[in-house]
Structure 1
Amino acid sequence: MFKQGKSFLVFPVKVVFYQPEIVGYSLQTGVGAGTRHFKRAVHRNRIKRLMRESYRLHAAPLQQYLLEQQKPLAVFLLYIDKVLPDQELLHQKMPVVIRRLIKELHEVDATAT
């Protein structure tokens, strides 16, 4: 996914996505936070928990788009900032991430046709 996929940045979240060659709707999502800036597992786990919750609350438009297109997608959300985020920051950024992802997918579909 990291070698063949495409990526973009909506600070503090880096998004890597890949559309596999399988038929039908499927959506796989992963989240991560690096050990370079967060040495303690407690902090990394908190970041991942906050990102999962924010994604869960805002992912409906992406799920709807993929269902309409009948396309599979694998997405990885990587937190790249150096400070611990609060829930409000991620709730503000996640809709921007989802809209940008849909836009990128639409552009990929347009160039493929």
Structure 2
Amino acid sequence: MQVPLYQAKADLFRMLGHPVRIRVLELLQDRPMAVRDLLTEIGGIEAPALSQQLAVLRRSGIVTATREGSTVVYALAGGDVAELMRAARRILTEMLAGQNELLAELREAEAEAR
């Protein structure tokens, strides 16, 4: 039985729903990176935990892994993932701008009520 498109999209967003995975994708937008470099950049995460998150991204097909000697280098599988990360940033920026406008209106109303 085929999964409906909306279910497939929900599964994609659920898979992306981990802060470490998002951080990895953001870092890989700039260039492919070795695991040791990802560990350094992310900080505060142990190698096994990062490997687990990288495996989820690799299984989903969002990132690729290539072995260069004893080093595994990860890269985005395609430019669409980088575009998705940029779109998320734009959406968040708009949402926060809207909240700032609402906060300014509330403060103005509070000042007028005094």
Q: Shared topology, TM-score over 0.5?
A: no
* Structure index of larger Rg: 2
State the TM-score, normalizing by the size of structure 1. 0.34
State the TM-score, normalizing by the size of structure 2. 0.33
Name whichever structure is richer in helix by fraction: 2
Of structures 1 and 2, the one with the larger relative CO (CA 8 A, separation 6+) is 1
Name whichever structure is richer in strand by fraction: 1
